[in-house]
């Protein structure tokens, strides 16, 4: 499998010995460490691949051999314990970075999504991707095929920030379409009305899904690292505002505390996992620490 730029090898090395756990019972999910009991081939044909030493001879397609004089193996879709859908916010606000060298919140979130998708595929779990701003821009249903993972990673590699933020509407739309219970992973800066976002997340919880929320913010958004006259530009409306950063720091930080508390307590209230990730923190550190905490909490 090629390694697109969003796929951080260091992240995979740190989490390769861990397993994502589900706190609530989802379809086909066993308590404890999530390990798929399925091995080998199932009955649903997926695609052909060229024979390599070690493959079982019984899976060679002899009709294809007769036509091409090459050995090809029938590959089948393996059964899966879990269907995971990653919801990635690609609104204009996600294009922000306080540092010229980046990463932007979208780049950080896309890297996180790529690593989770690759990791879930290694567990033999089907993974899907939905990209949205104020509407759904891309929807890849959960699949387990290698070709599906390759396309998912490719879509993440080419992603660019889009339009206005409206988190709730696309989430409600998706919740109406998902028929199989599974894991929902939201990756977003959550810069919207918390009540509406939580209502949309609760829609998934009512349907029996396990919900994880990765709240992605830039270090400057969290700590307000500005100290001089600064012009701020709204990435979605283009509105500009010149302010004395020092004079408004205290009020900003208090408002940010209220916002983060509302997000964290709101997620706890609907029994959804919540993790605040700072883009200044190396992704492999942030993700491995989260997965470790999740495994301890059970």
Domain locations along the chain: 9-30+80-297, 44-77
- The band of 50, judged by pLDDT with boundaries at 50, 70 and 90, is confident
**Average pLDDT in the chain:** 79
- Inform me whether the pLDDT recorded for 106 exceeds 90: yes
User: Which CATH architecture is the domain 9-30+80-297 placed in?
Assistant: 3-Layer(aba) Sandwich (3.40)
Residues 6+ positions from 262 with CB-CB distance below 8 Å: 194
If one compares 165 and 31, the residue with the highest pLDDT of the two is 165
Q: Percent of the chain scored above 90 by pLDDT?
A: 36
- Inform me whether the pLDDT recorded for 91 exceeds 80: yes
Please provide the DSSP assignment of 110-177 as one string.
Answer: HHHHHHHHHHHHHTT-EEEEEEESSSEEEEEEEE--HHHHHHHHHHHHT----S----HHHHHHHHHH
If one compares 8 and 255, the residue with the highest pLDDT of the two is 255
Helix (H) or strand (E) holding 210: strand 210-217
- The band of 14, judged by pLDDT with boundaries at 50, 70 and 90, is low
Q: Which of 38-42, 107-111, 122-126, 233-237 has the lowest mean pLDDT?
A: 38-42
């Amino acid at each position: 499998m090629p390694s697109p730029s969003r796929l951080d090898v260091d992240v995979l090395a740190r989490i390769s010995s861990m397993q994502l756990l589900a706190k609530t019972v989802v379809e086909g999910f066993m308590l404890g460490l999530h390990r798929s009991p399925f091995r080998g081939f199932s009955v649903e044909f997926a695609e052909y691949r060229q024979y390599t030493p070690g493959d079982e001879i019984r899976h060679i397609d002899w009709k294809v051999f007769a036509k091409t004089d090459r050995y090809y193996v029938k590959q089948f879709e393996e059964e899966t314990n879990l269907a995971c859908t990653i919801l990635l916010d690609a609104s204009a606000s996600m294009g922000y970075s306080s540092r010229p060298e980046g990463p932007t919140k979208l780049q950080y979130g896309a890297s996180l999504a790529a690593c989770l998708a690759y990791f879930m595929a290694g567990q033999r779990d089907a993974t899907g991707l939905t990209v949205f701003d104020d509407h759904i821009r891309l929807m890849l249903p959960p699949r387990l095929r290698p070709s599906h993972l390759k396309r998912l990673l490719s879509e993440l590699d080419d992603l660019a920030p889009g339009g206005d933020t409206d988190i709730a509407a696309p989430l409600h739309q998706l919740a109406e379409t998902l028929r199989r219970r599974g894991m929902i992973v939201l990756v977003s800066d959550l810069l919207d009305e918390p009540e509406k976002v939580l209502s949309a997340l609760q829609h998934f919880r009512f349907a029996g899904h396990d919900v994880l929320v990765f709240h992605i913010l830039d270090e400057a958004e969290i700590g307000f690292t500005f100290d001089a006259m600064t012009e701020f530009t709204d990435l979605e409306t283009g509105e500009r505002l010149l302010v004395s950063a020092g004079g408004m720091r205290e009020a900003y930080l208090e408002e940010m505390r209220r916002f983060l508390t509302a997000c964290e307590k709101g997620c706890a209230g609907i029994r959804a996992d919540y993790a605040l990730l700072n883009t200044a923190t190396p992704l492999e550190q942030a993700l491995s620490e989260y997965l470790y905490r999740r495994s301890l909490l059970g």
